[in-house]
Structure 1
Amino acid sequence: MLRYTLMRLGIFAGCLVVVWGAVYSGIFPRGYGNANFLWLLLLAMVISAPISWVVLRGERDRASARVAGRVDRMKANLDANRAAEDGAEDGVHAQGQPS
């Protein structure tokens, strides 16, 4: 997941540099007054999102599979713990002791 995040940030940083160059060379319009930095960030986000969606598809699928595997292991551990607790509780009830 960290690798995917770093790759996504790298694409955003690259887009930010390209947008900054395009704004200051006059290809893209400048923002109003002091809002130029926010304009640069907005343009970079809008451009980097579809690029990340296409370029990082494989990495996103691998990260998703790792997360799903962790969730499955956690569910299995919870089920095992519940079964162990149920077994211990059944043993107490079989001996006639209150829980």
Structure 2
Amino acid sequence: MLRYTLMRLGIFVGCLVVVWGLVYSGLAPSGLGDSNGLWVVLLALVLSAPISFVVLRKERDRASVQIVRRVDRMKANLEANRSQEDAEDVADDTSRAQTS
């Protein structure tokens, strides 16, 4: 998961550098008034999103498999805890019934 995040960040930074270069050289518009920095960041986000979607498809699939495994493991642990608590409750009820 960290690998995927770092790869996405790398693509964004690459797009940010390219967009900044295009704006600085005058090949791309510089935004309105003092919005130059915001314009460059937004344009880099818009460009990096589809690139990340296409280029990182396999890495995204790997990350999602890891997440599914973690969720399944957590569900199994919760179910095991729940069944253990139920067994303890039954044992407590049985011991109370015997003492009464």
Deviation at 1:40, TM superposition (A): 0.3
Within a 5 Å distance, the mapping from 1:1-99 to structure 2 comes to: 1-96=1-96
- How far is the alpha carbon of 1:24 from its aligned partner? 1.6
Cα deviation code 1:16-48 (max 9, x no counterpart): 111111112222111122110000001000000
- Over residues 41-61 of structure 1, what are the superposed CA-to-partner deviations in whole Å (9 max), with x where a residue is unaligned? 010000000000000111111
CA distance in 2, matches of 1:30, 1:67: 40
- Greater RCO structure (CA 8 Å; 6+ sep): 2
Q: Distance in 2 between matches of 1:53 and 1:73?
A: 28
User: Distance in 1 between the 2:18 and 2:62 partners?
Assistant: 29
The amino acid that maps onto 2:58 is: G
TM-score (norm 1): 0.93
**What is the CA RMSD across the aligned residues, in angstroms?**
0.9
Taking the aligned partners of 1:27 and 1:66, their CA distance within structure 2 comes to: 42
Q: Percent identity?
A: 65
* 3-state DSSP of counterpart to 2:34: helix
- Give the distance between the partners of 1:96 and 1:43, measured in 2 at CA: 69
TM-score by length of 2: 0.92
- Structure 1 regions of 5+ residues with no counterpart? none
